Structure 1
Amino acid sequence: MRIPYAPTEPADPTPENEAIYDRIRARRNPRPLIPLDLALLHNPAIADGYNALLGAIRTKASLSQALAELAICYIAVLNSATYEWTAHAPLALKAGATREALQAVKESRIQDKEALTDDERLVLQFTEQSTKHVKVDDALFERVKARFNDREVMELTITVAGYNMVSRFLVALDVTESNGKAIEMPA
């Protein structure tokens, strides 16, 4: 990492900081704090906000978790965020994405009709436009709106935006020293 990780216990153990560490630990339970947490905890208030937002994106959304994880994995590919891929590729498979779909994402074959469903291709096209160009063209957005309800459209949009933030943070600070390492399929 390009800066040292924050300590696993608050450097300034105020009740507020202790509560923040506890909330982050609760979200990670049964795992310990991860390197991403320790990078963020240089500022506990920011780490707390991050934890709340990303926790809600991951656990409170109605959008298919498999679709969300494929979008996150594609963001990792587009932004060369190996650590993000390593964390989320197994979650995509666990959520029900096929190995063939995940391999297509890894290889940026987002139009592959053999490996990807219509919904997967649509989500990945949206992910690519939002990630690479920020603006999603009207024709694609209308296709997304025709397929998903307003809540799911918002959730897809915040998932893509949020995990672009994550990947940029991970890569800029080289969290886990993963920059330059190959993106590999999970075992």
Structure 2
Amino acid sequence: MLHSRHFLTLRTRNPIQRLTFTTTTLFKMRVPYAPTTPPDAAAEPIYSRIAARRAPRPLIPLDLALLHNPAVADGWNSFIGAIRTQTSVPETLKELAISRIAVLNKAVHEWDIHAALAVKAGVERDGMKTVFDTKLHKKGDEVGKEEGGGLTGEQWAVLRYTDQMTVGVEVDDGIAEALKAFLSDKQVVELTATIAAYNCVSRFLVALDVGECNGRAMKGVDEL
């Protein structure tokens, strides 16, 4: 565990974009953050593409962890960017699924960000309390009468699907088929890709303690 003060600054060489990321923290991530400026000419366009997706926000610690390998960071940026902006699944369902993944995988940063986005998208706060508190629905478990708790029937279906994909991976036929009552085949693929992608995100964040969030309490629903 490394304890030191660090200052992170990114200035893109594109004159149209001049973004600065500056922070001071006692960091304990399991590897140091990558350089905040491109290490060579080949990495310059990658840094610029990631900065462009984040704009007007600065780069985040996740970016600076991935940028140890700019090619990996570039692929990640493209994939997650498509998941975020090029899918047709309603934001309420997408952010609910991501928030549930964060709870199951104990990804504090993922919960704090995406639970707030779920509320902004229209998920009821009582529903988010259910997302946070309800018991895991494993493969083979009977589908009960959980409807309510601030969630619609569609949201419950997504929650169950997310649970089984995240813990155990295999999904009951009935749980998968339930999605087709309100999602097209394309949207089922998009939702599945979203759940898979954000399981990847949460596992990366937690394993390396990116952003130094491990062990910190997740925000309460009333704080979102």
TM over 0.5: yes
How many residues in Structure 1 have an aligned counterpart in Structure 2? 185
Please report how far the alpha carbon of residue 23 of structure 1 lies from its aligned counterpart in structure 2 after TM superposition.
0.6
Where is the helix percentage greater, Structure 1 or Structure 2?
Answer: 1
Task: Tell me the equivalent position of 2:102.
Answer: 76
- Residue 105 of structure 2 contacts residue 203 of structure 2 at CA under 8 Å; is this kept in 1? yes
- Deviation, 1:13, is 2.2
Q: What percent of counterpart residues are identical?
A: 55
Contact 2:180 2:188 in 1 (8 A): yes
Q: Specify the alignment match of 1:131 in structure 2.
A: 166
Q: What is the letter of the counterpart of residue 4 of structure 1?
A: P
2:176 corresponding residue in structure 1: 141
- Residue 36 of structure 2 corresponds to 8
Q: CA RMSD in A?
A: 1.3
Q: Does structure 2 retain, via aligned residues, the 8 Å contact 1:68–1:156?
A: yes
- After TM superposition, give the deviation of residue 8 of structure 1 in Å: 1.5
Contact 2:98 2:114 in 1 (8 A): yes
What TM-score does the superposition give when structure 2 sets the normalisation length?
0.79
SS at match of 2:170: coil
Q: Is the 1:106–1:183 contact (alpha carbons within 8 Å) kept by the matching residues of 2?
A: no
How far the C-alpha of 1:178 sits from its partner, in A, is 0.8
- Kept after mapping to 2: 8 A contact 1:24/1:51: yes
Give the Cα–Cα distance (whole angstroms) in 2 for the partners of residues 140 and 114 of structure 1: 19
- Runs of 4+ in structure 1 over 6 Å off: none
TM-score (norm 1): 0.94
Q: Which has the higher contact order (CA 8 A, sep 6+)?
A: 1
Q: CA deviation at 1:94?
A: 1.8
**Corresponding position of 1:106:** 132
Task: Tell me: CA distance 1:103–1:114, structure 2 relative to 1, closer, same or farther (3 Å).
Answer: closer
Matched to 2:121, the amino acid is A
Residues 73-125 of structure 1: per-residue CA shift (max 9 Å, x gap): 00000000001111212211222222121121111368351310011100000
1:65 offset after TM fit, Å?
0.9
Q: What SS class does the counterpart of residue 147 from structure 1 fall into?
A: coil
For residues 27-176 of structure 1, the aligned pairs below 5 Å read 27-108=53-134, 111-176=146-211
Unaligned runs of 5+ in 2: 1-28, 137-145
Contact map agreement 2:123 2:151 (CA 8 A) in 1: no
- CA–CA distance in 1 between the matches of 2:176 and 2:81? 26
Point out the structure with max Rg over C-alpha.
2
Partner deviation per Cα, 1:42-92 (whole Å, 9 max, x = no partner): 000000100011011011110001110010000000000001111212211
* Farther off after superposition, 75-84 or 90-99: 90-99
Paired with 1:95 and 1:114, the residues of 2 have a C-alpha distance of 18
Give the Cα separation in 2 of the matches to 1:58 and 1:137. 27
Q: Which runs of 5+ in 1 are unaligned?
A: none
